[in-house]
Amino acid sequence: MSNLSQSNAGESQADFPEWSKRSTIYEVNIRQYTPEGTFEAFEKHLPLLKELGVDLLWLMPIHPISKVKRVGSLGSYYAPADLKAVNPEFGTLDDFKRLVHKAHDLGFKVLLDWVANHTGWDSVWIDNKSWYVTDEVGNIQSPSEWTDVAELNFNNSDMCLAMMDAMKFWVSEADIDGYRADHAVGVPLRFWEEARVALEAIKPVYMLAEDNTKFDFLKKAFHANYGWDLFYNIMKGIPSGEKGAQDIKRYVDRIKQQYPLGSYPMNFITNHDTNSWEGTTAEMFGEAEKTMAVLSFTLPGMPLIYSGQEIGIDQRLEFFYKDEINWTDTKNLRRFYQRLIQLKKQNAALYNGSAGGEVKFLETSDSRILAFQREKDGQCVISVLNLSNEEVSGTVNMTTTSKLYAVLDPSEVTLNLQHSFVLNPWDIHLFSSVTLTDQD
């Protein structure tokens, strides 16, 4: 059993907003979302996302993109030219404010993707040479292999003040609800902790770190980080048989070891990076795609849905060029994801962080069957999954014989203490003590 009520890493001192306990995050790629690629055009999709059930909208960077050393015709969102301005391809500052206001009216929270480690080479800051990392002869340097950007110097107090000012601008002027911090460990922890205090003086904010290596970032500065090694890389290995149930059990144990109590990973099977550079969900997971998605919702952590994932897009979206999403739903996945989101919201066992239930792995007669139960406040969820491409017959030792509700094939069921299953390849049986409704 993994006990989420304890942590060997201490306790997070961050305040966790009440709304975040049930939330699913949705990553918005404004450029590729619509033919227009604008805030105004995306705004028309908000009712569909409300119907889907997601709560937290993470918008990829919205700033003007540098032209000097640009990669591709449109450049990288992560090469900002002005952190207090809006990319004119997306619209105006007023358009963005209107989008945030409309999102808030519908009950969404909005995160802005924030690039703090670097700017583009024609940034409005570039003439302040001391604001950047330089070599021994004074040449501004790129971070790692990203040649289209220039690395900022966080030993320069003026730059730090300007960065802080820009972050406060979007909270105070556009009323955003927090940040997803790009390459978070490329910025000193002290800056993030100071930024958190400064932003909280304006309004409560939610902070997500793009990182899976520095867990002290979760003690004060951030609520959540990326479930890369602890989740995504395990999921990638399951379809080939390289990874299995034992790896998932170790994953849950590592959460207890590494995460400060209250904090948690963001679980994903795709995002803007993996889609563009590694492959689509169909390429990565094949017939196991839905099984991996269920794990992203039922294991500890906040689940992510990337733009188009809810219809199973079979596109590797171009990163530096226009490549509109084809919104034809050929896989009929929207209702599947809607049910998972409803389960996350309506059953306390799956709430995020310490608000959710412990994971108890159930004994199975076949190692290819993964079964686990989570309970909280008298509510429970039981997941039984076939982690193989073969039909498997076996038993699962249950802890309850109460009537439950089959989530994906709605019906009442009663489980035996030693329940027999015949599981098709990658089969999913998901049970809830709560009968789900289409209302939050």
On whether the CB atoms of residues 392 and 369 are closer than 8 A, the answer is yes
Q: Which secondary structure element, helix H or strand E, spans residue 226, and what is its range?
A: strand 224-226
d(C-alpha 427, C-alpha 423), whole Å = 5
- Pairing mode of beta strands 403-406, 392-397: unpaired
Look at residue 364 in the predicted model and tell me its pLDDT.
98
Look at residue 109 in the predicted model and tell me its pLDDT.
98
Look at residue 8 in the predicted model and tell me its pLDDT.
64
pLDDT tens-digit readout, 171-192: 999 999 999 999 999 999 999 9
Look at residue 201 in the predicted model and tell me its pLDDT.
97
Tell me the three state secondary structure of residue 14. coil
d(C-alpha 160, C-alpha 156), whole Å = 6
d(C-alpha 128, C-alpha 131), whole Å = 6
3-state SS track over 373-427:
EEEECCEEEEEEEECCCCCEEEEEECCCCCEEEECCCCEEEECCCEEEEEECCCC
Look at residue 3 in the predicted model and tell me its pLDDT.
38
SS3 content of the chain, % helix, strand, coil (to 5): 35, 20, 45
d(C-alpha 156, C-alpha 139), whole Å = 16
The parts of the chain modelled with pLDDT lower than 70 are 1-8, 439-440
Look at residue 4 in the predicted model and tell me its pLDDT.
42
d(C-alpha 195, C-alpha 190), whole Å = 8
Residue with tokens 């897009």: 313
d(C-alpha 376, C-alpha 300), whole Å = 13
Alpha-carbon Rg for the chain in angstroms:
22
Q: What is the distance, to the nearest Å, from the Cα of residue 354 to the centroid of all Cα atoms in its chain?
A: 18
> What are the chain's domains?
18-357 (3.20.20.80), 360-432 (2.60.40.1180)
pLDDT tens-digit readout, 376-386: 999 999 999 99
Amino acid identity for residue 374 in this structure: R
The two structure tokens encoding residue 382: 């039981």
On whether the CB atoms of residues 274 and 284 are closer than 8 A, the answer is yes
Nearest alpha carbon to residue 206 among 19, 440, 4: 19
Look at residue 1 in the predicted model and tell me its pLDDT.
34
The two structure tokens encoding residue 347: 């059953």
Neighbouring CB atoms inside 10 A of 78's CB total 22
Residues listed for the chain: 440
- Pairing mode of beta strands 149-151, 118-120: antiparallel
Read off φ and ψ for residue 313, nearest 5 degrees: -55, 140
Look at residue 329 in the predicted model and tell me its pLDDT.
86
d(C-alpha 63, C-alpha 90), whole Å = 9
pTM for the full predicted model: 0.96
Tell me the three state secondary structure of residue 340. helix
Residue with tokens 């490549």: 323
